[in-house]
Amino acid sequence: MAKEKHNPITVGKRILQYSRPYRFFLWVALLLAVISSVASLSIPIQIGRGVDCMIGQGDVNKERLIPILIRLAVTALLYALSQWLMSLCTNRVAYGTVRDIRTTVFSHLENLPLRYLDAKRYGDTISRITTDIEVISDGLILGAAQLLTGIIMIVGTLFFMVSINLWIALIVVILTPLSLLVAGFIAKKTFAMSKQQAKVRGELTAYIEEMIGNQKLVQAFAHEEDAQKEFEEVNEQLRNSGLKATFFSSIVNPSTRFINGLIYAGVGIAGAFAVIKGVMSVGQLSSFLAYANQYTKPFNEISGVMAELQNAAACAQRVFELLDEPEESADGKRELTKASGRIELDQVSFSYAKEKPLIENLNLRVTPGQRIAIVGPTGCGKTTLINLLMRFYDTDRGEIRLDHIPLREMSRESLRSSFGMVLQDTWLKTGTIRENIAYGKPEATEDEIRAAAREAFLEHTILQLPQGYDTIVSDDKQNISQGQKQLLCIARIMLLLPPLLILDEATSSIDTLTEVRIQKAFTNLMKGRTSFVVAHRLTTIKEADTILVMKDGSIVEQGTHKELLDQNGFYASMYQNA
């Protein structure tokens, strides 16, 4: 079923569906293709008649020849003009279509579950959205124009050749399938090689993206030589697959040209005998030879774009594989206007892989305004619990409720807008500091943005920058420190003031003095708000109302800091060894 869904014919049909909004330009292009083909086909007739006007050497019937030359010039001009206009139309269709495909893919990407994105290398996904879609425009759409014109030319030249001499035309028709068989055989090989080339190109893009994004670590661990070797291995694979794809695509055109040359030679010899016997005139033979050349030319052009078409089909296959990935489970219909913060987990089970259970039969009751700290060893399920609360993942079994409403019944937008989230891994959009603080509330006033920056102890740092709040920052830029990036993310939450908070190692990159201040700001912010604090430094969660101690996906201990120390259990052991 999957093979049928992604075979070249089905892929081509799906691309044509995206070109429907531009069907006017498609029809105009079709009309122009007919006009240019008819103009091109009438030129050999005019040339043949001109040749027949030459009765003998130096004896030319000028009265008949001049009108023929005028018609020939007008026809040539009409052919050139229609070709130019047709290219404008096909370009409009091509780039409009791939723009719509790219928009659809990006929109689909935003609705894919994190389970898919976590399992794929980002670079490969980027390659599908950028490079692969660009290849589609260069191949399938623009190549289709040559294919369309070629078919019309083949039918037209065949008609004119039959009208001049049926028997010589049969020579062309009988020998032509040899050219098609050769082109078809090589095209299959080309598609397989192009598909492999696109796959390896995606792997190379993913590897480059991974290395560039983590260059500091590569250098810190002196991994440059190993990274270079790994890159060269993938690069060599791309070279080999590219050479194979290019080899097969390159032999199509010479092979078909060789066979078409044999056809042309056969027509010339047969036509010469026909002229000697008086069956054809010299002008008719010249017209016939021109038509024979025009008849084989589309086969050469089609075979020439075969590699491009096959490459485009292989890339389109990868794009549609991404588009066919199932989106997030159905969104709930219920809207949560203002959450009180009551959360209940009943018999919740979840695992990223079925063969590796993580959270099993987890039960939890959180009352509004409680500060819940979640601690435990790495991999125990702390961050997974946060992912389930935000519905980045859905539970395998059991139910999570917010204000007595099951999360599955609630729209994701209203659920997530009820939470303010600060993660250990910061992320900044490319833009000004002002835009980054107002990321969750674009309509925020200048006073609100500045107040949030002050609450995050960041305004002093911002005002020291050359452009202040208009300073451009991003994840890649190094004009602000990692700690300052984290303070920016905290300022976003200070601006939103959501009813529920999630702080996942929110102060991990901040200096000790600033951390003390931020903790005080968080203490004020958390008053009256249900808060979940994921922490590795146990000294930062002493004031939590309840500490959940997780191990192997289960809550093994629960209580205040003092109660857990008095139990002298797993938490006490962790605290003493911290």
Angle at 455 between CA 452 and CA 457, to 5 degrees: 110
Say how far apart CA 313 and CA 251 lie, in whole Å: 19
Closest alpha carbon to 558 in 577, 544, 539: 544
**Residue 421: what pLDDT?**
82
How far, CA to CA in Å, does 490 sit from each of 169, 486, 518?
Answer: 80, 6, 9
Q: What is the pLDDT of residues 438-480, one digit of tens each?
A: 888 888 899 999 998 888 888 888 888 888 899 888 766 667 7
Query: Quick one: 562 exposed, middle or buried, by C-beta within 10 A (0-12, 13-18, 19+)?
Result: exposed
- CA 425 centroid distance within chain: 24
pTM: predicted TM-score of the whole model, two decimal places:
0.66
| In the predicted structure, residue 1 carries a pLDDT above the cut 50 | no
Q: How confident is the model at residue 183 (pLDDT cuts 50, 70, 90)?
A: low
Query: What backbone phi and psi angles, to 5 degrees, belong to 344?
Result: -135, 135
**Residue 221: what pLDDT?**
64
Which residues of 193-278 form beta strands (DSSP E)? Answer: none
Amino acid at position 445, single letter: T
Closest alpha carbon to 400 in 362, 356, 449: 362
DSSP assignment, residue 372?
Answer: E
Say how far apart CA 508 and CA 424 lie, in whole Å: 6
- Domain boundary assignment for the chain: 9-19+94-323, 343-577
Q: What is the pLDDT of residues 393-427, one digit of tens each?
A: 888 899 999 988 888 888 888 888 888 888 777 77
Q: Where are the alpha helices (DSSP H) in 277-332?
A: 282-323
| In the predicted structure, residue 55 carries a pLDDT above the cut 60 | no
* Residue 441 structure tokens: 């509330």
How far, CA to CA in Å, does 65 sit from each of 39, 46, 62, 70, 77?
Answer: 19, 10, 5, 9, 18
Q: How confident is the model at residue 331 (pLDDT cuts 50, 70, 90)?
A: confident
Contact status, residue 90 vs residue 145, Cβ threshold 8 Å? yes
Per mean pLDDT, which of 211-215, 299-303, 429-433 is the most reliable?
Answer: 429-433
Q: What is the pLDDT of residues 495-553, one digit of tens each?
A: 888 888 888 876 666 677 777 777 777 777 788 888 888 877 776 778 788 888 888 87
The dotted CATH code for 343-577 is 3.40.50.300
Q: How confident is the model at residue 81 (pLDDT cuts 50, 70, 90)?
A: very high
| In the predicted structure, residue 100 carries a pLDDT above the cut 50 | yes
**Residue 141: what pLDDT?**
61
Say how far apart CA 453 and CA 492 lie, in whole Å: 8
| In the predicted structure, residue 219 carries a pLDDT above the cut 70 | no
DSSP per position, 179-208: HHHHHHHHHHHHHHHHHHHHHHHHHHHHHH
β-bridge mates for residue 421, sequence order: 502
415's CB contacts (< 8 A; 6+ apart) are 336, 390, 391, 402, 407
Mean pLDDT of the chain: 79
Say how far apart CA 199 and CA 240 lie, in whole Å: 13
Contact status, residue 560 vs residue 544, Cβ threshold 8 Å? yes
* Residue 277 structure tokens: 């016997």
Q: What is the pLDDT of residues 116-144, one digit of tens each?
A: 777 777 777 888 888 888 888 777 666 66
Angle at 24 between CA 22 and CA 26, to 5 degrees: 75
| In the predicted structure, residue 561 carries a pLDDT above the cut 70 | yes
Closest alpha carbon to 191 in 237, 245, 232, 123: 245
> Where do we find the tokens 């109660």?
563
DSSP assignment, residue 477?
Answer: -
**Residue 168: what pLDDT?**
76
| In the predicted structure, residue 2 carries a pLDDT above the cut 60 | no
| In the predicted structure, residue 82 carries a pLDDT above the cut 80 | yes
Contact status, residue 559 vs residue 572, Cβ threshold 8 Å? no
Q: By percentage, how much of the chain surpasses pLDDT 70? A: 87
**Which of 85-99, 286-300, 362-376, 560-574 is predicted with the least confidence, judged by mean pLDDT?**
286-300
Query: What backbone phi and psi angles, to 5 degrees, belong to 368?
Result: -55, 135
Say how far apart CA 479 and CA 353 lie, in whole Å: 40
| In the predicted structure, residue 307 carries a pLDDT above the cut 70 | no
CATH 3.20.20.10 for domain 9-19+94-323, yes or no, is: no
